[in-house]
Amino acid sequence: MRPNHALLAIASLSLAIATAHADNDPIANTKEGQLRGERLSDRDVFLFRGVHYGQSTAGPARFKAPQRVAKWQGVKDAVKFGSVCPQGGDVGRRTTTSGELLPQSEDCLVLNVWTPGLADNKQRPVMVWFHGRGFYAGAGSEPLYDGARLAKRGDLVVVTVNHRLNVFGYLYLDTLGGATGNAGVQDMQLALEWVRDNIAAFGGNPANVTIFGESGGGAKVSTLLGVPSAKGLFQRGIIESGARSKGMTKALAAKNTATVMAKLGVKTAAELQAVPMDKLLAAVTTSGRTTPDFGPVIDGEYLPADMFDPVAAPSARNVPIIVGTNRDEYALYAREHPIGSKMTEAQLREDLAPYFGADVERMIAAYKESRPQASPWELMIGIRSNRFHIGAIRLAQVATKSAPVYMYSFDFEPTALKAAHGAEIPFVFSNATANPNARPGAKAVEDAMSDAWIAFARTGNPNHKGLPTWPTYDVQTRATMVFNVTSQLVNDPRSSERKVWEGRELVR
Separation of alpha carbons 128 and 199, rounded Å: 11
3-state SS class at 217: helix
The type of residue at 156 is L
CA-angle at 250, arms to 246 and 251, nearest 5°:
110
C-beta atoms surrounding 238 within 10 Å: 27
Closest by CA position to 419, among listed 439, 448, 434: 439
C-beta atoms surrounding 170 within 10 Å: 29
Residue 394's H or E segment, with its range, is: helix 386-399
Query: How do 34-36 and 75-77 pair as beta strands?
Result: parallel
CA-angle at 263, arms to 262 and 267, nearest 5°:
40
Query: 31 — phi, psi (to 5°)?
Result: -70, -20
Q: Where are the alpha helices (DSSP H) in 400-485?
A: 425-428, 442-459
Q: Which residues pair with 226 in a beta bridge?
A: none
Q: Which residue in 38, 106, 240, 329 is the catalytic one?
A: 329
Residue 271's H or E segment, with its range, is: helix 269-274
C-beta atoms surrounding 323 within 10 Å: 26
Active-site annotation holds for 505: no
Closest by CA position to 323, among listed 219, 232, 467, 226: 219
Closest by CA position to 420, among listed 481, 501, 321, 335: 335
Active-site annotation holds for 215: yes
Q: Which residue in 83, 141, 215, 409 is the catalytic one?
A: 215
* Nearest-10 Cα torsion for 325, 326, 330, 333: -100
Active-site annotation holds for 464: no
Q: Which residue in 378, 421, 446, 450 is the catalytic one?
A: 421
- Active-site residue list: 215, 329, 421
